[in-house]
Structure 1
């Protein structure tokens, strides 16, 4: 969750106004703020591009050439959400820095018409930069430094790295055939972590979020509540209660492996749910310890998905995928959830939707 001042938190708990801004940087125009009338930013921890957005801009900004400001040929856009504070002033919350991916319009243009501008985060730019020829990880380089190198080779050395793993593990020497971002994700997996770009464009490498983290926000019904509706879903789809992580060898030597088993959730291994293992293989896993770390982290992703909650609530633009929140509902009681997906609308009359996962079953009614 992006840090908020006390005044901003007070404003979010009551009726307040909002603003949105989009600042575009291009080679031809430099830096310019483009007025937007709506749209939304989507954040999805299960997608390669964690952040994406669609902005509604005035038709007069329709690009006439590839060098124009809103042409999807290199322009970069920063999107911010403004919380209008009681007593005056605006606190701006960064939502994403994205590359323009598509600009579209419908004609004839009416008085209320707009052009739609789609943004994607830098992970897509890195994924598009596939290797011309196979390359090898650098001998004795750390896993984190190799993640940063692969990203900076595409985006430039200015990319700030925020390493929350504290790991000094040496990366396995492997050949990267072609897919640059896939290699980044596999390197992060080998640490039991994840790699993504945060709202201000920093490359973040961090451990997988777990329900053991402290909740950063509470959504609730009733007087003073911010929860408008709840949709619960219980499903076996994408639920696994054991992960087997193994290395990959081509020389006939048996590969190392390790398992992580769910023994505590309602879908625990060998219980009424049954046995449902998930297998993960990577050439980056060369020791049992690496396999165990990876298996443990992957289990965190898939063990608590049996209970999904979709909530619609008043907007909190500071929330992010991976945040732990508390959902307080009279029928289900209080449950703790990890945010998988959320939408942040850029219009004052819109509400926010969040999809979460949890291994805390709702109370029976």
Structure 2
């Protein structure tokens, strides 16, 4: 949390083909959404207002323009400063320019010629997953090898990796059709993680298991919360688990478990219709090679995926550029101090940001 009289402003470095073309480019009207439930998780928009010392325009006129949406990228930063001694540059995200919905150039007459006074370019941004998603496979296929997930991830994505989890073999059941990005999610899902783009532009892995808490959110003079209304959602709550696996002898293994009572009960022979209906969580793992293992794991998984993390908390808090999707935090509430995991963050140029937390 920022304490004291600090100011924040947004800037960006412009890259093309790995080369930095412009540094410390001021941006205005920032609006960025970090959504852990989306395939392309980090999106945003901003406006570049630029005046060149030599009366040159940076407004794109064709595919080769410096801000054209054909491969140009922005490394976006927030500058936190007290105006005198302290100043820190914090990386917020690495984005591809995908659209320039508004372009305008101001000109003036000078010494019988027209010169550029300034350029205003509005940009639509998506993280580097957009490039992976756009590059569809020509035909269905399977991994080039099964020994290393990270080697296959690097082959299909072309992205530089930051290894946040341990590497592991690829399950024999994994294959792809046309969607390269979905295949990337399937591969890293085998490591019990989710792929995401780090602010430095590398591909990271966010563990699906909840990590240790990193902060405590509270209201009042000592806290960061402005308001925190609660909501309920049935998404990602399951009442049935199916484990699919393959034995060492290539025999198919199938194990199931389900809730038969309570408000989340799944339909059964004795109760074919239930209010919540059937919500099945499918799981496979290279480590499950016997029926006994699968039958032991199924009820354990069911306890996890049927846990009533159906409550979501919407938090408006003071701007904090260090907050990340996937962070686990304590939330001080009148009824206690439960844990929550950040699912999404919305930021703009204001003094606050909005979080959605999945609560335990």
Q: Fold conserved (TM > 0.5)?
A: yes
**1:131 alignment partner in structure 2:** 137
Question: Given that residues 126 and 181 in structure 1 are in contact (C-alpha distance below 8 angstroms), is that contact kept between their aligned partners in structure 2?
Answer: yes
User: 1:240 is matched with which residue?
Assistant: 238
Asked whether the 8 Å contact 2:147–2:168 carries over to 1, the reply is: no
Taking structure 1 as the reference length, the TM-score comes to 0.77
Query: Relative to structure 1, is the Cα distance of residues 127 and 38 closer, same or farther in structure 2, using a 3 angstrom cutoff?
Result: same
User: Measured at CA, do residues 320 and 28 of structure 1 come closer, stay the same or move farther in structure 2, by a change above 3 Å?
Assistant: closer
TM-superposed deviation, 1:332: 3.7
Distance 1:298 1:47 in 2: 24
Deviations 1:131-168 (Å, cap 9, x if unpaired)?
Answer: 1233331234222321222112xx5xxx1x22232133
**In 2: Cα distance, 1:237 partner to 1:28 partner:** 39
1:119 has 2:125 as partner: yes
Q: Distance in 1 between matches of 2:200 and 2:298?
A: 28
* Cα drift, residue 302 of structure 1: 7.1
**2:339 matched residue in structure 1:** 336
Q: Does 1:193 align with 2:193?
A: yes
Instruction: Tell me the alpha carbon deviations over residues 67-104 of structure 1, each in whole angstroms, 9 at most, x when there is no partner.
Output: 11211011011001122158623211111111111111
Conserved? CA contact 1:41–1:51, under 8 Å: yes
Displacement after TM superposition at 1:283 (Å): 10
> Residues of 1 paired with 2:353 and 2:297: CA distance?
35
Tell me, yes or no, if the aligned pair for 1:257 and 1:292 is still in contact at 8 Å.
no
Structure with greater helix share of residues: 1
**Shift in Å at residue 304 of structure 1?**
4.6
In the alignment, structure 2 segments of 5+ residues that lack a partner are 51-56, 107-118, 267-277
Verify: 1:143 aligned to 2:134, yes or no: no
The reply on whether 1:16 has 2:3 as its aligned counterpart is: no
Partner of 2:280: 278
Which SS does the other structure have where 1:187 is aligned? helix
2:162 aligns to what SS in structure 1?
A: strand
Partner of 1:363: none
Checking the alignment, whether the CA contact within 8 Å between 1:127 and 1:181 is kept in structure 2 is yes
Aligned positions of 1:240-279 closer than 5 A: 240-246=238-244, 255-258=252-255, 270-275=261-266, 276-279=278-281
Q: Distance in 2 between matches of 1:114 and 1:291?
A: 61
Determine if the alignment matches structure 1 residue 226 to structure 2 residue 224. yes
1:54 matches 2:42: no
Mapping 1:319-330, distance limit 5 Å:
319-329=323-333
Identify if the C-alpha distance between structure 1 residues 122 and 269 changes in structure 2 by more than 3 Å, giving closer, same or farther.
farther
CA RMSD of aligned residues (A): 3.6
Distance 1:151 1:293 in 2: 32
Which range moved further: 14-23 or 232-241?
232-241
8 Å contact from structure 2 (residues 59, 105) kept in 1: no
Task: Answer yes or no: is the 8 Å Cα contact 2:171–2:285 preserved in 1.
Answer: no
* Residue 168 (structure 2) aligns with: 168
Number of residue pairs matched? 328
- 2:115 equivalent in structure 1: none
The one-character-per-residue Cα deviations of 1:275-332 (angstroms, maximum 9, x if unpaired) are: 3542437798984679998997898677454110001111111111110012223x34
Higher relative contact order (CA 8 A, sep 6+): 1
- In the alignment, the residues of structure 1 paired with residue 303 and residue 37 of structure 2 have an alpha-carbon distance, to the nearest angstrom, of 14
Distance 2:131 2:185 in 1: 14
With over 3 angstroms needed to count, the CA separation of the structure-2 counterparts of 1:323 and 1:167, relative to structure 1, is same
Q: CA deviation at 1:246?
A: 2.3
Counterpart Cα distance in 2 of 1:270 and 1:89:
58
Distance change >3 Å, CA 337–CA 139, structure 1 → 2:
same
User: How far did residue 105 of structure 1 move?
Assistant: 1.7
Aligned CA distance change for structure 1 residues 163 and 256 (closer, same or farther; 3 Å):
farther
- The partner residue of 2:33 within 35, 42, 46 is 42
